[in-house]
Amino acid sequence: MPDSIPSANEPEDRTYQEGMRVRREVLSDAHVDRAQRKKDEFTRDFQELITRYAWGTIWTRPGLPRTTRSAITLTAMIAGGYWEELEMHVRAAVRNGMTAAEIKEVFLQSAIYCSVPAANVAFGIGQRVLAEELGEGSSA
């Protein structure tokens, strides 16, 4: 994990730094490093916003375990049709301790409340990502 000392281009406030720590724990250092390398003048403010508020303010709250936050996030990605984000958050859900069986249940629940076609896409993405993350024996 990188040093907790902010680079010259990163804010130094505690919320941002805590957000960066959680973002790295949930999404992986590799993912965050890729996002940081892509950051430019146009995207810098957005990257700081999501790090500070999504990761530093919401994901750090003590009221819900990370597995519950992941389940909610998976549902939101399915409801909105945010398929690239769903892929990223299936990986994050596994990192947060969700099992393939739990992810399957979230997708089934989403079929009722978000739509069967959306859940169908989610199951395809989930099947591929879980095979990559958990290996061939990842069946729920």
> What are 15-24's pLDDT values in tens digits?
999 999 999 9
Is the pLDDT at 86 greater than 80? The verdict is: yes
pLDDT at 1: 44
Taking residue 68's Cβ as centre, other Cβ atoms within 10 Å add up to 12
What is the rounded CA–CA span in Å between residue 86 and residue 10? Answer: 27
3-state secondary structure 45-101: HHHHHHHHHHHHHHCCCCCCCHHHHHHHHHHHHHHHCCHHHHHHHHHHHHHCCCCHH
Q: Which residue has the tokens 């250092």?
A: 29
pLDDT at 7: 53
99: Cα separation from own chain's centroid: 15
Mean pLDDT of 79-106: 98
Taking residue 31's Cβ as centre, other Cβ atoms within 10 Å add up to 16
Going from the C-alpha of 62 to that of each of 57, 66, 69, the distances in angstroms are 10, 9, 11
Domains of the chain: 14-58 (no CATH), 66-134 (1.20.1290.10)
What is the rounded CA–CA span in Å between residue 79 and residue 61? Answer: 24
pLDDT at 3: 46
Taking residue 23's Cβ as centre, other Cβ atoms within 10 Å add up to 22
